[in-house]
């Protein structure tokens, strides 16, 4: 039986990769430079250099940086990592936004940020219509739920002769409510 190597079948990175700015920042920005920029001058302790930790109120230098290994560790915080992780934590980026922190790190130190390949833009253009259709269906589903859960109980309490007009009005109003709920959900 012949087994095919998965790397020969598919490329390692397809389209836009969140790892490209992260890898570029790890290569281009020395961790020592970032630690000095965040904390001021450090104190040499053997092969490591200690800085005041920018993640907490630090009176004694507790952020240890190993420039050879390109890593850091803070004893009181019990966290460590590479240059991108230090930038992410110091600048209060969420873990999902590590690629944004890496891009900001590159910009901060005057390096070029890796651009998205042209194939990414073509794919976005190709998929735009489908994404919009999915969004419309999701909004319509939320609209139906809003109508059913909010308006229908209210409509049942109205007199019979006013229900038809009130129902049309409620259905129209449900669209704007559903749209706002969907946008809030997307931003969260």
Same domain, 70 and 34: yes
- State yes or no: pLDDT of 27 exceeds 60: yes
Q: Judge if 23 and 87 occupy the same domain.
A: yes
Residue 135 in domain? yes
Listing from the earlier edge strand, what are the strands of the sheet with 43-45? 43-45, 48-51, 63-66, 71-74, 79-81
Rounded CA-CA distance 171/10 in Å is 48
**Residue 8 included in any domain:** no
Last residue of a domain, one of 108, 139, 161: 108
- In the structure, what pLDDT confidence band is assigned to residue 130 with cuts at 50, 70 and 90? very high
Asked, for residue 130, whether it belongs to a domain, the answer is yes
d(CA 104, CA 28): 13
Instruction: For residue 10, tell me if it sits in a domain.
Output: no
Domain assignment of residue 2, yes or no: no
- Tell me the per-residue pLDDT of 132-184, one tens digit each, with 9 for 90 and over: 999 999 999 999 999 999 999 999 999 989 888 999 999 999 999 999 999 98
**Same domain as 21, residue 93:** yes
Q: Between the CA of residue 154 and those of 134, 141, 143, 157, what are the distances in Å?
A: 30, 20, 16, 5
- Residue 79 sits in a domain whose CATH number is 3.90.580.10
165 in any annotated domain: yes
Domain termination site, one of 58, 74, 108: 108
Look up the domain containing 125 and give its range. Answer: 118-187
Whether residues 53 and 125 share a domain: the answer is no
The answer as to whether 61 is a domain residue is yes
DSSP summary character for residue 72? E
pLDDT at 10 over 50: no
77 with 130, same domain: the answer is no
> What DSSP designation does 1 have?
-
In a domain, 60, yes or no: yes
**What is the reported pTM?**
0.60
Q: What is the mean pLDDT of the chain?
A: 86
CA distance 75 to 72: 10
Tally the domains of the chain: 2
Of 60, 83, 108, the residue that ends a domain is 108
Is the CB of residue 63 less than 8 Å from the CB of residue 51? yes
């Amino acid at each position: 039986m012949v087994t095919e190597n998965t790397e020969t079948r598919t490329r390692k990175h397809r389209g836009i990769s969140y790892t490209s700015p992260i890898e570029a920042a790890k290569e281009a920005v020395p961790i020592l430079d970032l630690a000095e920029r965040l904390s001021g001058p450090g104190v040499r302790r053997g092969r490591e250099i200690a800085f005041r930790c920018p993640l907490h109120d630090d009176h004694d230098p507790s952020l240890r940086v190993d420039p050879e290994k390109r890593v850091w560790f803070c004893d009181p915080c019990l966290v460590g990592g590479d240059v991108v992780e230090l930038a992410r934590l110091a600048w209060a980026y969420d873990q999902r936004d590590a690629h944004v922190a890496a891009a900001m790190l590159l910009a901060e130190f005057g390096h070029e940020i890796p651009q998205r390949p042209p194939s990414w833009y073509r794919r976005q253009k190709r998929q735009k219509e489908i994404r919009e259709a999915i969004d419309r269906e999701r909004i319509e589903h939320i609209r139906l739920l809003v109508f059913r859960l909010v308006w229908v109980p209210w409509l049942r309490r109205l007199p019979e002769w006013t229900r038809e007009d009130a129902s049309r009005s409620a259905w129209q109003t449900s669209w704007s409510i559903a749209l706002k709920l969907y946008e809030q959900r997307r931003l969260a």
